[in-house]
Amino acid sequence: MPDMNDTNTDKNPLVEMRDIHVSFGGVKAVDGVSIDLYPGEVVGVLGHNGAGKSTLIKILSGAYQADTGQIVVDGKEAKIENARDARDNNIETIYQNLALADNLDATQNLFLGREFVDKFGFLDDAAMEHKAREVLHRLNPNFKKFTSPVSALSGGQRQSVAIARALLFEARVLIMDEPCAALGVHETKMVCELINKLKHDGLGILLISHDLHDVFDLSDRLHVMKNGKLVGSVRTEDVTHDDVLGMIILGKMPEHLLHLAGPGATNATNPQTSETPL
């Protein structure tokens, strides 16, 4: 992406989350975070365990609800109260635990919750398998095990099934929680190729990870969170690994990008917070 700024101003964001707040009991899990995502863009959401990134993303996927804040999809405010609402807004999530039913086969998992039925209301398994073969073949030509339970599949194959599931229902925003966790080297490479393929198809992809290395090369931009607040949003080409590690671990914005600091940055004079800078 040579000219990110231009593409960003040309297009409207696919999704914006504005000033999201969530508390669990007295703990502020997400505290005034705003992020956005454009078509054909891969954005990493980074932070330590407990930084609030998973909570933030679960609000977008409908698993949790924000206490206050706005979600804007295609310029229109969207109400996302459950997984179905998210899906209606073409937002699909691929979870860390892969959210597949281990005892069902690939086809059954692909269509779970949205099965094809015939005119009598009975499942049309053959039609579903046909469609499943088509979609999965596009993603992963080596995929053969359509009728084995997914517990018999490798991690990469399972990830293919999960992604195919999202594509099958015309996802425009794909949220991937730790997409390469528990995958081998070869399979990680396969998933990376998949993500690039989807990006070229114009999807917006949010990658959630606590491991910088998983997402640095894939992402166009990074949102970094710490203690429930946004440290900052940077373009990957403007920063080094060390810069980002500093953001994740210390909450410190790189010196040359101090003007982009968010409320969670510890080294910035931040007009948005009343805290005195250190």
Confirm if 235 and 225 have CB atoms less than 8 A apart.
no
Confirm if 62 and 52 have CB atoms less than 8 A apart.
no
Starting from the edge strand earliest in sequence, which strands make up the sheet with 229-235, in order? 91-94, 173-177, 204-209, 42-46, 221-226, 229-235
Q: Rule CB under 8 A: say whether 122 interacts with other proteins.
A: yes
Q: Rule CB under 8 A: say whether 78 interacts with other proteins.
A: no
Task: Tell me how crowded residue 241 is: count the other CB atoms within 10 A of its CB.
Answer: 10
Among 4, 63, 78, 192, binds other proteins (CB under 8 A): 63
Q: Which stretch binds other proteins (CB under 8 A): 48-56, 82-90, 197-205, 242-250?
A: 82-90
Q: In this structure, which amino acid lies at residue 194?
A: L
State how far the alpha carbon of 169 is from the alpha carbons of 110, 117, 164, 203, 235, in Å: 10, 16, 9, 13, 30
Among 108, 157, 188, 266, binds other proteins (CB under 8 A): 108
Among 18, 21, 48, 130, binds other proteins (CB under 8 A): 130
Q: Rule CB under 8 A: say whether 182 interacts with other proteins.
A: no
Q: Which is nearer to other proteins, 118 or 242 (by Cβ)?
A: 118
Q: Which is nearer to other proteins, 126 or 249 (by Cβ)?
A: 126
Q: Rule CB under 8 A: say whether 72 interacts with other proteins.
A: no
d(CA 206, CA 221): 10
Query: What kind and span of H or E run contains 204?
Result: strand 204-209
Q: Which stretch binds other proteins (CB under 8 A): 37-45, 145-153, 183-191, 219-227?
A: 145-153
**Greatest distance between any 2 Cα atoms in the chain:** 69
Contact footprint for other proteins (CB under 8 A) = 61, 63, 82-84, 87, 93, 95, 97, 99-105, 108-109, 112-115, 117, 121-123, 125-127, 129-130, 149, 151-152
